[in-house]
Structure 1
Amino acid sequence: MSITVAVDEPNDCVIIRVLGSFDFSLFNDFRAAYTDLSTTYERYIIDMSQVEYLDSAALGMLLSMRNAIDLPAQIELKGANDFIKNILMISRFDKRFEIQ
């Protein structure tokens, strides 16, 4: 369970990679991943390709991120497996995030 952050300055983008279980144990690290940046960016990509488990706390963390980052900044949820993508769609996250 870990989070890594990469900043892509030329593309005005931040990539946050979540590995393993995306749950409450990552609360502080996930929040720091977008609040500790020195500036705001046009795009935030949450790479979920290595997420094995997602719970309601993770959904809440994503919503908190959406509320903390001013529009028109875009948040993309990428690489989720079919099971996790289904949870995101049932939770209607496609209305607040771009899901790929």
Structure 2
Amino acid sequence: MSVMRRVDEQKSQVTIAIDGRFDFAQHKAFRDAYREVDAKQMKFVVDLSGASYLDSSALGMLLLLRDYAGGDATRVTITGCSEDVRRVLKIANFEKLFQLD
């Protein structure tokens, strides 16, 4: 269970990769991964290819990131979703709030 951040200055992109369970235990690490980033200059990619599970607190954390990024669906992209994770995101109508790749 970890949260990793990669910053690509050339692409103006921050990638936050989640490995393992994405739940409340990752709240501080997830917040710290974007908190020091200038949201006006960067786009965010949340890589869930290593996530085996996400719960309602993870959905809330994604919404907080979206708000931090300015509330625009194009500023935050969620990638690498397994079938189960994608199903949870679709049930929550997150395809309307985020770009899902």
Same fold (TM over 0.5): yes
Deviates more, 1:39-48 or 1:77-86: 39-48
Displacement, 1:42? 3.4
Displacement, 1:36? 2.0
- Contiguous gaps of at least 5 residues in structure 1: none
Cα distance in 1 for residues equivalent to 2:9 and 2:80 = 22
The corresponding residue for 1:45 is: 45
Match of 1:10, SS? coil
One-letter amino acid matched to 2:46: I
Q: How much identity, in percent, do the aligned residues show?
A: 34
The alignment yields a C-alpha RMSD, in angstroms, of 1.3
Cα distance in 1 for residues equivalent to 2:61 and 2:71 = 17
The corresponding residue for 1:90 is: 91
1:36-89 Cα deviation digits (max 9, x unpaired): 22x233320000000001011000110111112215561000001011101101
Deviating 4+ runs (over 4 angstroms): none
Q: TM-score, normalised by structure 2?
A: 0.92
Displacement, 1:4? 0.6
